[in-house]
C-alpha cells in the first residue's frame, strides 16, 4: 500500500474514531498523532489484543500459564541502556524536543504511560514531560554504564 493510500486510510480511521487502526497507521507512517487521546486508546487496544492472543495461544497449546514470582520490572536493563543512548540525541532542556521525548518514552515504556499504567503522557505539559524524561535518563544512565 502506497504512502497516499496509508494517509487516506489513517484520516478515515481518525474520522470514524477507529483507535486501533489510527494508532497503527500513525506508528507505521511515523506521524505525530493529531488526536493523542485516540492514539493512546488505540495502543491500549492493541496491547490488550496481543495479551489476549498470547493467552489463547498458550491455552491452545495446553501449556501452563507462567507463574508470577513477585513484583518484577517489565523493563529490562538493555531497554534502559538503549533508551539512554537514544535519549542522548535529544535536548536535556525541559521545554525542547517535547514531541520527540514523548515519542521516545512511548516507544520504550508504552506500558507505563497508557491510561492503565502509572501515568499518562496525554495532556502532560511540556515541562512535566521534560522532567520525567530527564529523570528516566538519569535512571537509565546506570544501566548504560554497566
Are the CB atoms for 120 and 114 separated by under 8 Å?
A: yes
Has residue 70 got a pLDDT over 50?
Answer: no
Among the ranges given (36-40, 45-49, 97-101), the one the predictor scored with the smallest mean pLDDT: 45-49
Which pLDDT does position 80 carry in this prediction? Answer: 83
Tell me the residue length of the chain.
Answer: 146
Has residue 31 got a pLDDT over 80?
Answer: yes
Radius of gyration for the alpha carbons in the chain, expressed in angstroms and rounded: 17
Cβ-count burial 100-130 (b if 16+ within 10 Å, e if not) = bbbbbbbebbbebbbeeeeeebbebeeeebb
Q: Is the pTM for the entire model greater than 0.85?
A: no
State percent of the chain over pLDDT 90. Answer: 6
Phi-psi region of 119 (alpha: psi -120 to 50; beta: other; left: phi over 0): beta
Q: How far is CA 115 from the centre of its chain?
A: 11
Has residue 61 got a pLDDT over 70?
Answer: no
Residue 117 DSSP label: S
Has residue 118 got a pLDDT over 60?
Answer: no
Amino acid at each position: 500500500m502506497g504512502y497516499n493510500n496509508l494517509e487516506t486510510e489513517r484520516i478515515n480511521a481518525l474520522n470514524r474514531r477507529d483507535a486501533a487502526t489510527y494508532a497503527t497507521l500513525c506508528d507505521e507512517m511515523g506521524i505525530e498523532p493529531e488526536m493523542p487521546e485516540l492514539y493512546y486508546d488505540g495502543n491500549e487496544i492493541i496491547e490488550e489484543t496481543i495479551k489476549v492472543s498470547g493467552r489463547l495461544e498458550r491455552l491452545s497449546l495446553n501449556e501452563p500459564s507462567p507463574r508470577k514470582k513477585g513484583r518484577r520490572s517489565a523493563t529490562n536493563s538493555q531497554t534502559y541502556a538503549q533508551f539512554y543512548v537514544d535519549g542522548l540525541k535529544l535536548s536535556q532542556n525541559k521545554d525542547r524536543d517535547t514531541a520527540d521525548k514523548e515519542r521516545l518514552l512511548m516507544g520504550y515504556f508504552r506500558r507505563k504511560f497508557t491510561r492503565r499504567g502509572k501515568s499518562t503522557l496525554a495532556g502532560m505539559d511540556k515541562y512535566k514531560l521534560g522532567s520525567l524524561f530527564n529523570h528516566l535518563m538519569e535512571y537509565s544512565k546506570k544501566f548504560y554504564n554497566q
